[in-house]
Structure 1
Amino acid sequence: MISVPDRTPLAKIPLNRLAIIALIIGIGTGLFVAALKLSTIWVERVVYGADHLHNQNQIAQTSPLRLAITLVILGFVSSWAWFFVHRPSRRSSHGPASKAENGDQNGDQASPTEVSVVGAMRGEKMPFYRTVVSAFLQSITVAAGAPVGAENAPRIAGSWVAEKFSSSLQLDLEAKRILVAAAAGAGLGASFHLPLAGVLFTLEVLLAEATTRAVVISIITTAAAVATTGYFVDTPDVYNAVSLTESPGIMLAAPIVGAIAGLGGHWFSRAANKAAAAAPKGSKILWQMPLGFAGIAAVAYLYPTSVANPRWVADTMLSGGLVFSVIILLLVLRTVLFLVAFRVGMVGGNLIPAFALGALVGGGVGKLLEPLTGVPVAAFALLGAAAFLAATMAAPLFGLIAAVEFTDMEPQGYLSIFVAVAAAIIVVRLWLVITQGKQAIPVTYASWTGELK
């Protein structure tokens, strides 16, 4: 823990002053996220001639050959970009510095720890170059076709704004911890226009507390960030609305698909954790990432839908639009490509990919059980998406609220979503008790983004 002398303790800072600080940080976060989103849109238009605001599957008009060549080039260019971002800082020879600043002193890849959200919450300084370049690099690579999620970039963007601003005001470590966490959640909320989910991400995942100060600061920061980003960048359409009710069929389907998707999400998170842990160190990334993306390109050439925007995949499942064989093929291919990308050193998130995989799992279960339950496949897909996401991120409240906000769900559908997510978490807990003797579900969402270092 870093000692910070002569700074005002959080308990002595008036809540109204903290609210003003949170508002300023939220606006700064919103501006940073807007810049990230605009860069994403620009890259999508340059590379594919379409962007996700107007076409959920922006690669639809791209030939398989061009798509494959694009991914090969992306792997080569990204390998050099991440190599330079992860290089140990030369400033380490001039005095002590945190590991987050300098990286591994043995020359190993620093991974994303140099821009860690949790590291900033602990008082570590987030370097300007590494943080800004990493955030934009993540957004650009995902826009160009990397099969990973883009939500890690806005999280570190928000945490960087909060860390710098709170340090300039010489706030104590506890105040900085809450402000950094609130800004990280605000960045996520602003990126996807999920204000409530952004607040819950802060409280449930990062802070694991719900004090009055934490709640107020999180709400103000997220509201300011979402509003600011929305002013500069159009909000993409939400997913297809799915009609959920409290009918016996849906209430029976909810725990079944929740349990299956929950286990799937847990196993997916463990596999992603292992893939990231085995990511190349140092100069190894210069050949492993191009090689891995050559493999991704080969799969994309043969089956372009395997690298289609996960928003399109989820939205298609929420309209029940895929046959069972295609669901299984997409589920396998997209999971493998996601893991390969992390294994070869790509940095990103998992929110939208996990939501899409959960929709595929739920839709697959629905194809089998629809004749017995009378519940539409789209309902199974939504229940599966919420349960899978909640288990993947070990955040049940965040998972279910994200599903609600993504689809503009009507209140009569809340209960079935609650049941599905509860079933997912309970089954995962039982699985861990049986197989490992563990009583608690580990927070795994950040294991492969470097936020638990």
Structure 2
Amino acid sequence: MKTKRKFMQPSADFRLFLAVLCVGFAAGAGAAALTEVIHFAEFLAFGRAKSDFGVTPDQVSAFRRFAAVLACGAIASVGWYFLHKFKPFLSAGEIIEGKNPSFASNLAHAFLQVFTVGLGAPIGKEVAPRELGALFASKICAFFALDAAWCRTLAACGAAAGLGAVYNVPFAGAIFALEILLKSFDKRAALAAFGVCAVADFTANFSVPREALYVVSDFKSTPANLALAAFVGVIVGMTAKFYQAGVARAEANRIKDGKILIFLPLAFAVTALAGAFLPEILGNGQAAAQTAFNEQISALYALGLLAVKGVCVLALLKCGAYGGTLTPSFSLGALLGLCLGLTAANFAQVNLSAAALCGAAAFLAINLDAPFTAFALAAGFCDINLSAATAVMLSIACAMGARNLLSK
């Protein structure tokens, strides 16, 4: 007598296999397309060819930076006003939970997000590829007639694969799917997450840069650096808790009606003025974080960047803009870590790269409420060595512990 397959019939297995490949390909292609849109927007705003992209817009005049962000405000406010009025879009979380998205509206929403980032908006670009990955996955799962459980799993994997592909961090993308979106490390979910993220990353190869996102000086987890990591983790953990609450409040009370045509351009005008004097605050956070990792600014300047970028992100989210807080929070943590490192340097010999990286990873862990994902992202963003990993892990642990104690 033939034994039954434990989980699914062969036809269902084969459909699932094809769906994993298709979701990975679609998420990677979406991430690549969004990257090209950012390149085009940056060319319009700052006049740089794709091969010349750096991480700061300070090579252009203050007036051009101001004008680019001002124009960004006009485009963003009109774009999101009409999207809200005529065809509401869904978040990646809503798609994962089974809601049926409008393909055209969500596509326009994703491209509008990254276009504004390319023009200088100081918010993250990672939400757009997540939403696009989830959107494609929902349509692909419907085509292959997968059950509701697998539709949810592959939508989460598609969202995470978009994130992983746009930053060239496929492992972090898979952990993001399991720890944050699915909240499960089930073996079958893990297999799907790794498969989808790997295919997406390979697909995005032709557009997304292959080098590490940030250049960070190597350091070892010496006793001094471990003590510094713990100190930075505690302070960053308590600070990031309040910023996380601010982000949640801004997003919960985001302006979506006609007032967006008034308040969002005003928020962008303030950001444009700030960006004219502090170019590092513009963009998704890469400029600010790399500035911190370069270790060539004073504590006062780092504190100024931290305050201004943090306020601008909150203001834009509250006034109607959409985008991520992942890379902005990473940059805020790097700046705060550098400030703490420079302060500690008055009393002991410390490694400023260690302080900035530990601060970035710790801030990200609190913002995401996900220590495994934060470590994987920090490692992928900065291509850290094994010796540095211990200090980063300790900083994340201390940050989570400090946040939990503060919450009691």
Return the TM-score normalized by structure 1: 0.85
Asked if 2 retains the 8 angstrom alpha-carbon contact of 1:53 and 1:235, the reply is: no
The CA deviation string for residues 296-328 of structure 1, in whole angstroms up to 9 with x for no partner, is 222223433332662122122123121111011
Q: Does 1:234 align with 2:209?
A: yes
2:296 aligned counterpart, secondary structure: coil
The CA deviation string for residues 23-47 of structure 1, in whole angstroms up to 9 with x for no partner, is 2210111111111111111111122
1:67 partner amino acid: R
How far is the alpha carbon of 1:53 from its aligned partner?
A: 6.0
The separation in 2 between residues aligned to 1:22 and 1:157, in whole angstroms, is 15
Aligned-pair identity (%):
30
How far is the alpha carbon of 1:390 from its aligned partner?
A: 0.7
2:345 aligned counterpart, secondary structure: helix
Asked if 2 retains the 8 angstrom alpha-carbon contact of 1:56 and 1:311, the reply is: no
The answer for unaligned runs of 5 or more in structure 2 is 1-5
How far is the alpha carbon of 1:214 from its aligned partner?
A: 0.4
* Equivalent residue in structure 2 for 1:147, among 122, 136, 142: 122
Name the structure 1 match of 2:322.
Answer: 347
1:318 aligned counterpart, secondary structure: helix
Of residues 291-300 and 142-151 in structure 1, the stretch that sits farther from structure 2 once superposed is: 291-300
Q: Does 1:423 align with 2:392?
A: no
Asked if 2 retains the 8 angstrom alpha-carbon contact of 1:51 and 1:58, the reply is: no
Q: Does 1:127 align with 2:123?
A: no
* Equivalent residue in structure 1 for 2:359, among 375, 384, 402: 384
Return the TM-score normalized by structure 2: 0.94
Name the structure 2 match of 1:326.
Answer: 301
Cα 1:296–1:228, aligned 2, differ >3 Å: closer, same or farther?
Answer: same
Of residues 376-385 and 292-301 in structure 1, the stretch that sits farther from structure 2 once superposed is: 292-301
How far is the alpha carbon of 1:159 from its aligned partner?
A: 0.4
Asked if 2 retains the 8 angstrom alpha-carbon contact of 1:122 and 1:173, the reply is: no
The separation in 1 between residues aligned to 2:233 and 2:17, in whole angstroms, is 38
Name the structure 1 match of 2:279.
Answer: 304
Name the structure 1 match of 2:28.
Answer: 30
How far is the alpha carbon of 1:408 from its aligned partner?
A: 1.2
Cα 1:428–1:51, aligned 2, differ >3 Å: closer, same or farther?
Answer: farther
* Equivalent residue in structure 1 for 2:160, among 179, 185, 189: 185
Q: Does 1:136 align with 2:111?
A: yes
Asked if 2 retains the 8 angstrom alpha-carbon contact of 1:19 and 1:217, the reply is: no
Cα 1:267–1:56, aligned 2, differ >3 Å: closer, same or farther?
Answer: farther
2:383 partner amino acid: D
Matched ranges for 1:46-445 at <5 A: 46-50=44-48, 54-89=52-87, 103=88, 114-307=89-282, 310-433=285-408
Asked if 2 retains the 8 angstrom alpha-carbon contact of 1:56 and 1:309, the reply is: no
Cα 1:394–1:345, aligned 2, differ >3 Å: closer, same or farther?
Answer: same
The separation in 1 between residues aligned to 2:35 and 2:326, in whole angstroms, is 16
How far is the alpha carbon of 1:234 from its aligned partner?
A: 3.3
1:282 aligned counterpart, secondary structure: coil
How far is the alpha carbon of 1:17 from its aligned partner?
A: 4.8
Asked if 1 retains the 8 angstrom alpha-carbon contact of 2:55 and 2:290, the reply is: no
* Equivalent residue in structure 1 for 2:8, among 2, 7, 12: 12
Of residues 212-221 and 50-59 in structure 1, the stretch that sits farther from structure 2 once superposed is: 50-59
Asked if 2 retains the 8 angstrom alpha-carbon contact of 1:52 and 1:236, the reply is: no
Asked if 1 retains the 8 angstrom alpha-carbon contact of 2:167 and 2:213, the reply is: no
Cα 1:148–1:335, aligned 2, differ >3 Å: closer, same or farther?
Answer: same
Name the structure 1 match of 2:3.
Answer: none
2:145 aligned counterpart, secondary structure: coil
Superposed CA RMSD: 1.8
